Each structure stands twice: as structure tokens, then as C-alpha cells.
Structure 1
Amino acid sequence: MKLFHLILGRMSAALIVILTLWAGLFYLAVMEEVNDEVDDSLEDYSEALILRWLSGEELPARSNGSNNQYFLYEVSESYARMYPRISYHDEMVYITEKDEEEPARVLTTIFEAEGNRFMELVVYTPTIEKADLQRAILGWIVFLYVLLLLAVILLNVWVFRRNMHPLYRLLAWLDAYRLGRSNAPLENNTRIYEFRKLNEAVTLSAERSEKLYEQQKLFIGNASHEMQTPLAICRNRLEMLMEEGNLSEKQLGELIKTHETLERLTRLNRSLLLLCKIENRQFSDVKDICYNHLLEQYLEDYKEVYAYRGVSVEVITEGEFTVMMSESLASVLLTNLLKNAFVHVTEGGVIRILFTTESMVVANSGEQPLDSERIFERFYQGHKKEGSTGLGLALAESVCKSSGLDIRYEFTEGMHRFTVSRSGSERVG
């Protein structure tokens, strides 16, 4: 979830709670004020009626045209002692002037007259429709909530675009950053202290990573280069020992196994050295390479080497796939894809090579898909094959990256398919 959405959601939830509480308190305050005004009016009216009755004056009509009505009657002393002398409540009453029932505010008071008599006076006056008031308040609250929510959204959008711009520029720079590549410098000027410190931390981290990466590449290159001579000497000495005539069959077998191990180690060392050279961009023999013609130089050799497996090879040409790149790297890319196809194809299976103007597809029949997330990792071997170093596809991917190409793997219709295309071109085949 994005930070903007998280903050907006929490602010909206807080607004709902605050506005709901505010609406309830506002309604109670309004009703309290309305009731207070009506109660004062009823109290004044009741006092006037009581004074007139106690002084023996004639009382006004029970319904005097002002919607105020009253009832006056005598009650027992026990009743008077039981109930409070004055009380207020709401109820529906019949208004004679309007000939209908309306909500009214009612005052009930008990007073004592001469002769130990107790009188109860009930005075009421129509009041506002509280249900209508509730609906009106609810309508305005909803309107206010929508208005505030829109204002909050617009304010958050403005604040985030204004104040979070340095963070998004930093994230965009990190997305485009590639270790070991020529990256644009981070230009992210800001007055915000935290963002300045974050820019400095990211820049320092990137510089440390670049230094470590360069040291690692230098170490691998130097180590691989220095190992070439000792490995060659060891192989030569083993070959000389194997030519001795006084070796037993068991000793000769052990020497052969040791020689094969040294051969694999030599191939692995050459692959690591080649990877290091590719990453250091030490290949400058760039020219137009037609992979259709390049395939003709290598395909027959692979057919002869792996003829015992009964593999059929199909070459489909829909166009010439020509790329501006190093010829040495083009050979590395094609031979590694061919070797991978011949090594991993099923017995009696088929290898299909498709050329278009935008891509080259090398496919071989297989039984189950490989891990597409790890297939190009160095030393990863989904199904161990004799003599494999686990660097062939890593080399192929490294060549593609250094030459502006894309390589993709997929398993469809029982075929492992490796597609090499120009960066940004549409998928074909």
C-alpha cells in the first residue's frame, strides 16, 4: 500500500469518528437550547396562570389562539406529595386550533392553595418536529463530511506532490540504478533535512557498493588469470605421467579422473575470466553480426559431437537476425545456447532454431520446466549434467546485457525456449 493511500484512509476514518461525535453533540446542544427557551416560556405562562388563579381573577380560555393550552385541576395531598412540584417532558398532544396532534413541550406543576388544597397545572405548547430536525442535521452533516473529505484529499495530493517530491525522485533514481553500470548522478536538491540525510546515505551506500563490486571483479579477474598457468602446468604434468609405461591400470584410471577434474576446473576458470571481461567491457571488436551465418559455422560440429543421441535439428528462417556487437561475444552467446540445447535435449528429441529480423529462438524438447527465476544465476543447475559448469546461461545473459539484447526463458508445448531479441522489441515466435 502506498503511503499516500494509508494516510488518506486513516484521516478519512478519523474524520468519520470526529464528525459523528460532533453531530451527536451538536444535536444535543441544539435541542437543549430549544428546550430551554420553550421551558422558560412555559414557566412564565404557568406563573401568570397561578397568580391569576390565586388572586381570584378570571383565567384565560384554555386554548387562546397562541397554541398554548393548559389544564388546571385539584389533586389529593398524597398525589401532590408523591410527584415533583415541577417537571418537563415531550409528548404528542391534540391542538384544538389546528385540529391535529403535534409534538409539544409539556410543563406540569403542583402548587398549594388556601384551605390545604393542592392543584395541578399542566401547560403545553407546540414545539419543533425533532424528527425533521434530525434529518436536517444529518443532511448537513453528510454534506459537510463530503466537503471536508474532498478538501482533505485535495490537500493531501497537494502536500504530497509538494513535499514528497524528493522522495519520489530518489526512488526513481534507485529504480534506474544498476551496479557496475554508468549511472547518472543523483540530483535531488531539497530543503528538508531528513531527505537530505537520506540522499547522502543512499549516495554513500551506492559508492561503497561500487567500490566493493569493482574490487570483487578485479579479484575474480586476477585470480582467474593467475590460475590459468598453474592449471596448464598441472594438466601437462598429468599428461606426461599418463604417458609413462610403468603405470598400473588403477593408477592410470585415477590419473584420468584427476585430468578430467582439472579440465572442468580449467573450463570453469575460463568462464569466470570471460564473465569478468564482459562486465569490464573489454571487447571492442564491434561490427554487424548475422546470427544466421554464424550458426552455419558451429551447428555441424555440434551435430557430429552429439550424433549418438539421435537428435534432429530444425532451422527455421523468417528473416536475418543481425546485431551490432562484438564477434567474440556473439560466438559466446550462440555456442552457449547451442551447447545448452544439445546437452539438455531429451534422447531422440528435437532442437528447433528460429530466426526473425527481431529475434533468435533456440528451443529443445524437454520433460519439465526449469525455474525461470533462477535459470540465469551463476552456478545454478536445475538438472545436473556431466561436464556442466553452471555458467553457460549466466554467460549468455551477461553477453545480452552488455550488447543491448534481452534473453527470456519459457517452457511451452514440451519445449524449453530461449529467446534473444533487441531490448524493447515485442515477443515473437
Structure 2
Amino acid sequence: MKLLNISLLYLSFAFFVIIGIWSLIFYYNLKDEIRDSIDDGLDNNRILIIQKVHTDSTLLLQKEFGGNNFKIYPTSKQTALQVKDTYKDTLMYRLNENDLEPVRILHTAFEYENKYYGLHIISSLVEEDDLIEDSFWSVVWLFVILVGSIIVINNVVLRKVWHPFYDILSYLKTYRLDAQASPINISTNTKEFIELQKASNALIRHATEAYTSQKQFTENASHELQTPLAIIINKLELLLESEDLKHADAQAIASIIKIADRLTQLNKSLLLLAKIENKQFTNTKAIIINELGHQYKSNFEEFTYYKEIDINIEEVELLKVNMDPTLAEILILNLTKNAVFHNVKGGQIKMYFTRQEFRICNTSNGIPLYAEKIFKRFTKEAKKTDSTGIGLALCKAICDFYDMHLSYEFSQNEHCFSVNFKKIMEPQ
């Protein structure tokens, strides 16, 4: 959910609570004010009626409400003196409404020519149901108008206020370490956005410096290590061609050459892994993964023939992706190489190609691999002393680089590795 929408949600909830509490307070205050106003009116009517009785005694004959809003009835002195002006709500049948209606009634008493009379005066009340309904809809419309106003402010004013933030965010989304981009330069007078801009530029500068340093180290390490290793291997091979070399010495030199070759391969793999993790591969092209599968099937024909391994390829659809060609080759090569070298004599390798997935399975010795360890560096079978133990780690690094999913499962005595290319598929 967007930041502006979150603020709108919180403000709407806050307004809902505040208006709800306010409406309850307003409703009860309104009821109280209405009753106070009616009571004042009843008291005024009491004074007017008593004054009118002194000028028109026929009012004393008004013993029922009828069409009037008062009635007068004789009472004893003792009762009259005990009467206090009392206001209360009640229901009364009204002819004009033909129904029971809520009224406010005043009970009082007065003296006229040494006689005492009781006086009841009524005044219509606003029906509570009507008051609640009217108040409810008033509150609803108030809430709708406020939320509508907030939406307008949110989309016009706040969006403009937050514009520098979105500019900085957009810059960071598209920023690449390998590109020589200029620093963030957003025009704003807001202190927080100025600080955010400075902090972002500082972070980018440190990241760029670290990236450049690691890149230089990788390049230097590649040169400084590969050259001495190549010289060592070359010198040993020349020494191995010496005619007066003893058989035992020749075996020892051959063993050293084999170790040096393995060290060279390990160095190349580690440097490649470092380049992948440093995101130094930016050459993206359209690649057909099916073609790589057929290519490496041909490349390993001699070895598979020797081990009597049968490779079957099942192509449901062409698997087209956008990625660096070198990384695509390394990914498919290492998975194929892993299936070939970790197979059994007379075993099988099955390659499956669908629109978004490559899956390769090979016959196993009946023992599943540790799924939580196989993609870590230097994980290998104890018997495979000539393996660097870094091939699957390279595959995992490539998949992580492109946000792809690499998985392993053991099924029907087969090791199966699957790569989902959905995130980088070539558009149809």
C-alpha cells in the first residue's frame, strides 16, 4: 500500500472515531438543550395562563387538554402547597397525529380567589427516533465530506509535498553500481528531504567506492594468482619431459600438476563467484536455454559413452530468457556437469524444457543429498576429491542474481535440480 493511502487510511479511522465520539456528545447535549428550551417555554406558558385566569375565569373550566395544551383542575390547599414545579417526559394521544406522541409536561399549582388549582401544561417533543436518524445522516454526510476533502488534499497537496521523496525513490530504484551516475540533486526546501538526499548520496558514494575496490581486487587477484599458477604448471610440465627423471619423481610431479590445475580451476570459480555477487555482469541478451542443453549434451558425449550414461531431452516449449550469455552458459554447464560426474555407470540423465522452467535429473546411488547444504561453497561428496565443491554454489549465485528459484529434490532414485526462469523470460 502506498504511503499516501496509508496516511489516508489512518486519518479516515481517526476522523471516524473522533466524529463518532463528537456525535454522541452532540446528540446528548442537543437533547438537553431542547428540553431546557421546552422547559423555559412551559414556564412562560404557566405565567401567561395564570395571568389570563385573573382576567378570564372561564379558563378554570378547561379540565381536559382537548385542543389546548393545558388543563386546570381544582385541588386542596394541602395538595397544592406540596406541589413543586415538575417536568417530565410522557406519551400522549394526539388527535392531529392520531397516535401516541412524546410530550413534555409541567405539573404545577396556583391560587385564585382563595381556591387552589392544579395546572398541567404540555409541549410536543422532537421524536427521539427522528432525532437519532437525522443526527446519524448528518454525521454520515459530515464524515463523507471530510474524507472526500482529505482525498482531494491527499492527491493534490500532499502528493506535491512528497514529490521530492518519490524523486529520490525513483532514482534509487534505477541506480546501478556499474553505471557512472551523477549524485541525487532534487530541488526542495524541506529539511527532512534535504537530509534524506544527503544520506542517500553518502550511501551511494560508499557503495560505489566499495564496489570499485572489490572490482579492482577481483581483477588484480585474477592476474596475480593465475600468472604464477600458469608458470608453475608450465615449469613442472617441462620438468616432467626430462629423460633422466625417475618414475617416482615423475609421479610426484604429475600429482603436483594435478593439484595446481585444481587450484587454478578453484581460483577461477571463486573469482567468478565474486564477480556475480558484485553484480559485474550487465550484458543482457535473449538466450534460448534449449540450445545450451543440446550443446552440452554433445560436449559430454565421450564421457557419457565411457560411463554408459544415456541423456534424454524432452522439450515441451522453447525456453527463452533475457540474461548474460556467460552466466547462462555457466548455469546450464554446471548443472549438466554435476548430473554427469555424479552419476552411476549405466545411469540416465533427463533434461526437461518448459516455457519457464529447466529441470535436469540424474540417476543416483540411492542416497539423497542434504538440500540445506548442497548450494553452499565447498560442499562435495567425500569420494569426489577432484571436485572444487563450488559448482552448485555458482548456480545458486546466478539464480539469486536474477531473482530466480533454484530447487533440489530426490525422487524415484534420482537427483533433480529445477530452475524457474519466470522473472527473466523473453516476452511472447
Map of 1:72 onto structure 2: 73
1: CA distance, partners of 2:188 / 2:381: 52
For the pair 1:130 / 2:147, whether they are aligned, the reply is: no
For the pair 1:109 / 2:108, whether they are aligned, the reply is: yes
TM superposition shift of 1:108: 1.6
**Equivalent of 2:143 in 132, 136, 145:** 145
**Equivalent of 2:335 in 334, 337, 340:** 337
Q: Which amino acid aligns with 1:10?
A: Y
Shift of the 124–417 alpha-carbon distance from structure 1 to 2, 3 Å rule, reads closer
2: CA distance, partners of 1:422 / 1:135: 55
Map of 1:164 onto structure 2: 162
| 12-21 or 342-351: bigger deviation | 342-351
2: CA distance, partners of 1:323 / 1:14: 49
Map of 1:210 onto structure 2: 208
Shift of the 381–206 alpha-carbon distance from structure 1 to 2, 3 Å rule, reads farther
Shift of the 410–292 alpha-carbon distance from structure 1 to 2, 3 Å rule, reads closer
For the pair 1:23 / 2:20, whether they are aligned, the reply is: no
CA contact (8 A) 2:103 2:123 kept: yes
1: CA distance, partners of 2:220 / 2:233: 20
TM superposition shift of 1:10: 2.0
Shift of the 416–154 alpha-carbon distance from structure 1 to 2, 3 Å rule, reads same
CA contact (8 A) 2:352 2:359 kept: yes
Shift of the 58–246 alpha-carbon distance from structure 1 to 2, 3 Å rule, reads closer
The within-5 A match list for 1:371-386 is 379=377, 381=379, 386=385
SS in 2 for 1:179: coil
CA contact (8 A) 1:77 1:118 kept: no
Map of 1:409 onto structure 2: 406
Q: Which runs of 5+ in 2 are unaligned?
A: none
Q: Which amino acid aligns with 1:201?
A: A
TM superposition shift of 1:299: 1.6
Map of 2:360 onto structure 1: 363
CA contact (8 A) 2:320 2:426 kept: no
The within-5 A match list for 1:191-340 is 191-228=189-226, 231=229, 264-274=262-272, 291=292, 294-295=295-296, 298-303=299-304, 307=307, 311-315=309-313, 332=330, 335-340=333-338
CA contact (8 A) 1:381 1:390 kept: yes
Q: Which amino acid aligns with 2:102?
A: P
CA contact (8 A) 2:80 2:118 kept: no
Once the two structures are aligned, what percentage of the paired residues are identical?
30
CA contact (8 A) 1:93 1:101 kept: yes
Map of 2:85 onto structure 1: 86
Shift of the 340–394 alpha-carbon distance from structure 1 to 2, 3 Å rule, reads same
Q: Which runs of 5+ in 1 are unaligned?
A: none
How big is each residue's C-alpha offset from its partner over 1:244-303, in whole Å with a ceiling of 9 and x where there is no partner?
6789xxxx99x99988765543321122344567866799xxxx9964774366222432
How big is each residue's C-alpha offset from its partner over 1:97-147, in whole Å with a ceiling of 9 and x where there is no partner?
7775322111122446776x7654222233332322222222222232223
For the pair 1:425 / 2:422, whether they are aligned, the reply is: no
Map of 1:36 onto structure 2: 36
How big is each residue's C-alpha offset from its partner over 1:344-389, in whole Å with a ceiling of 9 and x where there is no partner?
4467542234679x999461236769869x9877x27487764443
TM superposition shift of 1:91: 0.8
Q: Which amino acid aligns with 1:71?
A: I
CA contact (8 A) 2:371 2:408 kept: no
1: CA distance, partners of 2:225 / 2:198: 40
Q: Which amino acid aligns with 2:13?
A: A
TM superposition shift of 1:58: 3.6
Map of 2:388 onto structure 1: 389
CA contact (8 A) 1:329 1:399 kept: yes
2: CA distance, partners of 1:316 / 1:99: 88
**Equivalent of 1:175 in 162, 167, 173:** 173
